[in-house]
Amino acid sequence: MRVAVIGAGVGGIAAAIKLRRSTSASVVIYEQSAGVGGTWFDNRYPGCEVDVHSHAYSLSFLKYDWPRTHATQPELLAYVQHVVERFGLTPHLRLNTRVTDLVWEESTQTYRLSTEHGDSEEFDVVISALGLLNVPRYPDWPGLDTFSGPCFHTSRWQDQDLTGKSVAVVGTGSTAVQIVPAIAPAARQVYVFQRQPGWIEPKNEREFTPRQRWVFRNVPLAQRLNRAWIFHKGNRRFKGYDVGSRYQRRMRGLCERFIATSIQDPATRAAVTPDYPWGCKRPVLSSTFYPALNRGNVELVPHPVAKVTPTGVLDATGTHRDADVLILSTGFQPTKFLSSLDVKGVDGRSIHDVWRERASAFLGITVPGFPNFFMLYGPNTNGGVSVIAQLERQAEVVVRAVRRLERTGARTVDTSPDAARRFLAWIDRRMATSASAMNAGCHNYYHDQAGHNVTQWPAGHLAYALATRLLSPFGLRTPH
């Protein structure tokens, strides 16, 4: 069987490895960028690093000598390249090649895959590993196009000498809290525009000691046991998303103590303290952002941007601040799944037409009427402890489906519409009591325009591992 993987981030790489190890399928990996790594290839801003422990934010089947508890962007990029070389994937890569269209051909029961270069090929199975946070969200502020200095989104970073410059950073999410401490020592002035505060926890990142690295390299179970402990703590931490739980109070208390001990100015402390439940929006981990706000050249502006002028930024109170450089840490468009790809399934129906009211998929992986098409990081799969673990479970569903096709001689596997409906109903029931519910009082990236939470998985990773193992045989059907 011929399998196409679209995307050479960690998810696409994991799927290719598992397919080559457990099936006889031939695999081609398409990647629109010039190198592998996905989000870690695209994002190169100062201070860029992951906020999940290295031993959890890595593939379970490969031991690796991590130098730090939380890997930096260059370290993660080197890791992905190591994985590619270790498992011999380089000949299977087609870099600088964006896939534009997939069309199901009923006569051959294959997908016709087309690229931006005008090429087309047929594949028996296609896996989309396009990721979730890769399409930047650009604001529509009046006057944005009139700004006279450098202006760019964090995921499209432009190398600038910020020495002696006045810099406006818009946003206080996971990216901005890494950038601000990294650029503050060089910049003359940094203005941090905050639309709404987020709950921030201490990250506690550090270098591993030489002894610790030796143990993780040489004691066979050390890295696995540490990984298991991280997942245990993460699954327990997930209980905090229940707004009435003891863990919710514990997490809020942790964050409030962190504010009290890290920020000197009482007004700033008040401005960064949210008035909504912990977990309503993605919790941020950073040990350096709050201390950076104590610097004399860093000012928190606790108001949204109202307008951009050629020389600076006007906030919602009408106050203008001059800026030489404008950095947009304004997030992504995660609810627009497969936005760069047009997929047509049975009877030529587009997946975007199917998703006109709401994006959904069985286990976040498959959609009825789109046989042999699988998604990694699809609707309602963001969460757990580490997205890498979620991606591995999804890749294993694909592997089992391909093995079933090989074993039975069937040409297609499709999704039961009833199973897809039941799964979606369960998602909505679980989301109703979560801190990330639409009416919890915060702005987050989880909901589509109609108010559906289409991105988050409403439980821990163990629950997702069990669901993908136990439910996929009932939801994925091959013809008799």
- The 8-class DSSP code of residue 209 comes to P
Pairing of strands 2-6, 26-30: parallel
Same fold, 2-135+333-477 and 144-209+231-328: yes
What local confidence, expressed as pLDDT, does residue 337 receive? Answer: 95
Q: Answer yes or no: are the C-beta atoms of 300 and 194 closer than 8 Å.
A: yes
Q: Answer yes or no: are the C-beta atoms of 402 and 429 closer than 8 Å.
A: no
CATH for the 144-209+231-328 domain, from 3.50.50.60, 3.30.70.260, 3.40.1710.10, 3.30.70.1890: 3.50.50.60
- 114-123 confidence digits (pLDDT tens): 999 999 999 9
The model scores a pTM over 0.75: yes
- 111-164 confidence digits (pLDDT tens): 999 999 999 999 999 999 998 888 899 999 999 999 999 999 999 999 999 999
Cα 99 from Cα 466, distance rounded (Å): 32
What tokens appear for 16 in the block?
């290719």
Fold for domain 2-135+333-477? FAD/NAD(P)-binding domain (3.50.50)
**Mean of all residue pLDDT scores within the chain:** 95
Helix (H) or strand (E) holding 19: helix 10-22
Domain ranges of the chain: 2-135+333-477, 144-209+231-328
Helix, strand or coil for residue 274? coil
- 276-308 confidence digits (pLDDT tens): 999 999 999 999 999 999 999 999 999 999 999
- 398-435 confidence digits (pLDDT tens): 999 999 999 999 999 999 999 999 999 999 999 888 88
Contacts of 224-232 with CB under 8 Å at 24 or more apart are 226/55, 227/55, 227/56, 227/60, 230/53, 230/55, 230/56, 230/385, 231/56, 231/385, 231/386, 231/389, 231/461, 231/462
Cα 420 from Cα 354, distance rounded (Å): 13
- Residue 211 burial (CB < 10 Å; 0-12/13-18/19+)? exposed
What is the number of helices (H) and of strands (E) in the chain? 14, 21
Per-residue pLDDT of the chain (480 residues; tens, 9 = 90+): 999 999 999 999 999 999 999 999 999 999 999 999 999 999 999 999 999 999 999 999 999 999 999 999 999 999 999 999 999 999 999 999 999 999 999 999 999 999 999 999 999 999 999 988 888 999 999 999 999 999 999 999 999 999 999 999 999 999 999 999 999 999 999 999 999 999 999 999 999 999 999 999 999 899 999 999 999 999 888 889 988 899 999 999 999 999 999 999 999 999 999 999 999 999 999 999 999 999 999 999 999 999 999 999 999 999 999 999 999 999 999 999 999 999 999 999 999 999 999 999 999 999 999 999 999 999 999 988 999 999 999 999 999 999 999 999 999 999 999 999 999 999 999 988 888 776 778 889 999 999 999 999 998 899 999 999 999 999 999 875
